[in-house]
Amino acid sequence: MKKLTLILFACLCSLQTLSAQDITRDQRMQWWREARFGMFIHWGVYAQLAGVYDGHEINKAGEWIMNRGKIPVAAYQQVAKQFNPVKYNADEWVRMAKDAGMKYIVITAKHHDGFALFNTKASKWNVVNATPYGKDLLQPLVAACKKYNMKLGFYYSQAQDWNNPGGAVNRKVTSEGWLNPDSAKIDAYTKDHDGHWDPAQETATFAQYIDRVAVPQVKELLSNYGDVAVLWWDTPTNMTDDAAQKLNALLKLQPNIITNDRLKRPNFPGDTKTPEQKIPKAGELDGSDWETCMTMNGTWGFKSWDDKWKSNETLIRNLIDIASKGGNYLLNIGPKADGTFPEQSINSLKTIGSWMKVNGEAIYATHATTLPQPAWGRTTQKGDFLYLFVFNWPQDGKLVIPEMKQSIVSAQLLAGGSKLKTEGSTIQLPAKAPDAIASVVKVQIKR
């Protein structure tokens, strides 16, 4: 009898943890699903080089300069001696994100160059020990995010590490989708190489790197900075299931944390899919939580000579396109070495912010509609409201909602708020679009 009770008790317990977990996933994901828009920040020693080494403009993304330029470990660590971001103002950064309508920030706590933006006991290769600045860069960001009610997540390159011994090195850049195809400044430094380029990188094994650096650092990140909203793993080069297991186990330090699918494939799917520099087709990723990460120009980490800036029209319409398909937009900023955002990024954030101020309700906490994608733009839905994003203003002023089955109760423009006449599934628009990039019509439907 005692045994039976014990077994029963054990069963009940496991049942309870199961159902508790089920609830937790939706609860855990709720803020993220409603947020729709976040800021990615790629910052580190590479910003100091800004895409130029030894007089050469190094091709490809700025944060890859050590790898693409085959910069020796000692030489790269010398660069840190100049990294002194005295103009870094975390409060200002968070305000810029907030004013743009962003709901979360994900910052590179450690990128592939292994440089920790935080105070770590696991490696001297960090901002406190290796730079004249000498202060933790994450701490002020944590404080500012708390102040402005902004969620904060950490990007952590768990496998690739080009400075800490034993870290993995991608042999070649296999997917070039995120590279700037027009930056044809090819020279001797940009040829593909096989693996490590400096013996200093190979004085420990990968397993030792995981135990000595990655595990303790992730533990620090998840213990010393309050609530961590997201852990954004990247490039599972050489990852073993054993290493992934050890890192994954640390997530219990933050019960509400959300993780992506880049720890190790396929056994560690995480919570979110991460299409990079591209927006999936409608329906393509239905059923999963996904986030498109994208650069504003052609690089993640700051590069002085990259001027492939996306227009505000592209950025705003990307956000709309992504929201209309049920995803999130993680838009990147590559701060300069002095701690300021590039001027172009600041300006775009402001423009997006003004648009969001008027039209944000059509983005946040909405979901994809079942309507076909209209030729004039995109649609989202929230409860009894449909939101119509008009990119191409109809010449005859008649906006037709294709395959609309429900009847319309009322329609109005979010910009200015004027009520619009409707007839069946046709909405009568004023002659001129209130917003040249995207005007939103809010439609109440009868369900």
What is the pattern of x (binds ligand JFZ, CB under 6 A) and - over residues 39-68? ----------------------x-xx----
Residues near 214 by beta carbon (within 8 Å), at least 6 away in sequence? 156, 158, 159, 161, 243, 247
In whole angstroms, what is the distance from residue 129 CA to residue 45 CA? 13
3-class DSSP state of 175: coil
Return d(Cα 373, Cα 324) in angstroms, integer: 9
CB of 76 to ligand JFZ, least distance (A): 16
- Give me the least distance between CB of 303 and ligand JFZ, in Å please: 12
Pull the structure tokens for residue 95: 């305000």
> Residue 297 carries which side chain, given as an amino acid letter?
N
Q: Map residues 119-158 to x or -, x wherever contact with ligand JFZ holds by CB under 6 A.
A: ----------------------------------------
- Taken in order 20, 25, 26, 31, the sign of the CA dihedral is positive
Shortest distance (Å) from residue 299 CB to ligand JFZ:
9
The closest of 362, 348, 359 to 310, measured between CA atoms, is 348
Q: Does 290 bind ligand JFZ (CB under 6 A)?
A: no
Nearest approach, Cβ of 112 to ligand JFZ (angstroms)? 6
Which of 84, 235, 354, 406 binds ligand JFZ (CB under 6 A)? It is 235
Number of residues that bind ligand JFZ (CB under 6 A): 11
Q: Which of 5, 175, 370, 395 binds ligand JFZ (CB under 6 A)?
A: 175
Handedness of CA 350, 352, 357, 358 (dihedral sign): positive
- Residues 381, 365: contact at Cβ < 8 Å? no
Is the CA virtual torsion 258, 261, 263, 266 positive or negative? Answer: positive
Decide whether 34 or 276 has the Cβ nearer to ligand JFZ. 276
The contacts of residue 287 (CB under 8 Å, 6+ apart) are: none
Q: Cβ 302 to ligand JFZ, closest distance in Å?
A: 13
d(CA 215, CA 164) in angstroms, rounded, equals 13
Polymer length of the chain: 447
- Give the integer Cα–Cα distance in Å for 305 and 298: 10
* Beta carbon nearer to ligand JFZ, 234 or 289: 234
Q: Give whichever of 148 and 178 is closer to ligand JFZ, judged by the CB atom.
A: 178
Cβ at position 173, least distance to ligand JFZ in Å: 8
Angle between helices 241-249 and 215-223 in degrees, nearest 10: 20
Distance in angstroms (rounded) separating the CA atoms of residues 313 and 318: 8
178 binds ligand JFZ (CB under 6 A): yes
Q: How far is the CB of 245 from ligand JFZ (least distance, A)?
A: 22
At residue 141, what is the residue type? L
Scan residues 313-372 and list those touching ligand JFZ (CB under 6 A).
none
Nearest to ligand JFZ of 300, 389 (CB atom): 300
CB of 423 to ligand JFZ, least distance (A): 47
Q: Which residues in the 205-234 window bind ligand JFZ by CB under 6 A?
A: 234
- Restricted to residues 155-174, the positions that interact with ligand JFZ (CB under 6 A) are none
| CB count in 10 Å sphere of residue 71 | 24
Q: What's the CA angle centered on 362, arms 402 and 294, to 5 degrees?
A: 100
Nearer residue to ligand JFZ within complex by CB, 232 or 391: 232
By CB under 6 A, tell whether 269 contacts ligand JFZ.
Answer: no
Helix/strand/coil for 206: helix
Quick one: which of 46, 76, 206, 300 contacts ligand JFZ (CB under 6 A)?
300
Question: Which lies closer to ligand JFZ via its Cβ, residue 276 or residue 361?
Answer: 276
Beta strands in 303-397 (DSSP E): 328-333, 377-382, 385-390
42 or 336, CB closer to ligand JFZ?
42
- Using CB under 6 A as the binding rule, the residues of this chain from 399 to 418 that contact ligand JFZ are none
- Our CB check for ligand JFZ shows the closer of 64 and 225 to be 64
Residue with Cβ nearer ligand JFZ (327 or 377): 327
Q: Which pair of tokens denotes residue 113?
A: 């160059």
Shortest separation between residue 280's beta carbon and ligand JFZ, angstroms: 13
- Chain residue whose CB lies nearest ligand JFZ: 175
For 387, the token pair is: 């939101």
* Contacts with ligand JFZ, residue ranges (CB under 6 A): 61, 63-64, 175, 177-178, 234-235, 276, 293, 300
